[in-house]
Structure 1
Amino acid sequence: MLFGKLLPKDGNFFELFNEHGKYIAEGARSFMSMLQYYSTNDLREKYASEVDAAERGADKVTAEVNRLLHRTFITPLDREQIHGLINSMDDILDLLQDSSEVMALYDVRHVTEDVLRLGEISVKCCERVQHAVSLLPRLNNAEVAEAAIKTCEEIDRLESDADRVMRSAMSRLFREEEDVRELIKLKAIYEHLETISDRCEDVANLIEGIVLENS
């Protein structure tokens, strides 16, 4: 690929994207820790609070990006791309927080291996999103642009992994779970966790489009 078209320089947007990406990765890791220590009330609440804090921090960044869009005459990317990217990133943390809240609201008493596996995939997806976003300021470098595309492809593969885990988990749930209430709870949680990887894939698709349009 040839990457001859240079992106205009505007560090504020890229710095804000990077800050949001860090919140995504931190929120995902805290969510995974919550799952791993779910049976310990104090730790569960501690990590759930960290997810909430990451979501609030990311909301502030999203608001600042949208304010900056109104104040900036020349932007480093197309305005619609900036708006779509930051809001898609924000959707990821919203889902992490929603998943944490659903588990509390549904009074989930234990975490299954399938929940843990979906959580692990979610963390990997979120960390890949952070990495892809961190490359945006240097897309004029062909090697960096190629690395961004490869990272987006990794996110696509992880999303496919989450789909497979989800299908397997649902099959096992309906075959083995005799408690209808528990089945309903776990079904909702599996769906929330699988959707996290979907939202990460949305971000990956937007970044792929940015790379290709500026090549």
Structure 2
Amino acid sequence: MHFLKKLFSEKTDFYKLLQEQCQLTLDGVISLQKYLETASREYGDKVTKLEKTADRKRQELIDALDETFITPFEREDIFALSGAIDDILDYCDTTVKEMDVYEIKPTDKLKTMVETIRKGTELVNLSLCNMNKNKKEAMRFAVGAKKYENEIESLYRKYVAELLKEDDIKYILKMREIYRHLSNCADKISLAGDILGHILIKMI
């Protein structure tokens, strides 16, 4: 009886948990952008710190799913959306770490890719912030976020083609790996947009 009382009397705000997680991810993307603009170790470390904080927020959400009987939308969708948002920040963190390991300095091409990723992540965040307020606006932002994957894929193909004209094989392999991480990051933005659209279409 006590267990049932707890299930129905304590309401977890999953919108708030997702919004908090997504804000941490957006902060991480912005920190990556500043890292590329300044080459400052401070911002690189901040990306890693935010990634760890966001992991704890995701775990908080997963624990809440385990303990909550009623959710505002399907628990599988909550889990999947949280996972996609988590992956965006994971790829930002691995980008910083591999730039350090490979001793890659920021370039204008990397700055352009991350600027595009920031725009897409901002729209995912705006969609989430509107889910429980204005679902049509939330859908508009979710659809808008997806277009940035196409922009990143176009940049990725262009930059890899230019990279292959270089003579330094080691540099080619290193930079291609960094480009690949950012391309994968954009894939997760698109996935988050897809999941948001899937959830919202059932709610509108």
Alignment of 1:75-154 (within 5 A): 75-108=71-104, 110-138=105-133, 144-154=134-144
Structure 2 residue aligned with 1:58, among 38, 54, 61? Answer: 54
Q: Would you say 1:199 and 2:188 are equivalent positions?
A: yes
Show the counterpart of 1:19: 20
Number of corresponding residues: 194
For 2:80 and 2:56, how far apart are their aligned partners in 1?
A: 16
1:148: how far off?
1.5
Asked if the contact 2:36/2:107 (under 8 Å) is kept, the reply is: no
Show the counterpart of 1:4: none
1:11: how far off?
5.6
1:112: how far off?
2.4
TM-score by length of 1: 0.87
SS in 2 for 1:137: coil
Paired letter, 2:68: T
Q: Which has the higher contact order (CA 8 A, sep 6+)?
A: 1
CA RMSD of aligned residues (A): 1.2
Paired letter, 2:155: V
Paired letter, 2:84: S
Deviations 1:17-68 (A, max 9, x none): 1111110110000000101112xxxx2x100111011111111110011100
For 2:46 and 2:59, how far apart are their aligned partners in 1?
A: 20
SS in 1 for 2:167: coil
Deviations 1:86-128 (A, max 9, x none): 11111111111011111111111x3222111111111111111
Structure 2 residue aligned with 1:178, among 159, 163, 167? Answer: 167
Show the counterpart of 1:29: 30
TM-score by length of 2: 0.91
Show the counterpart of 1:5: none
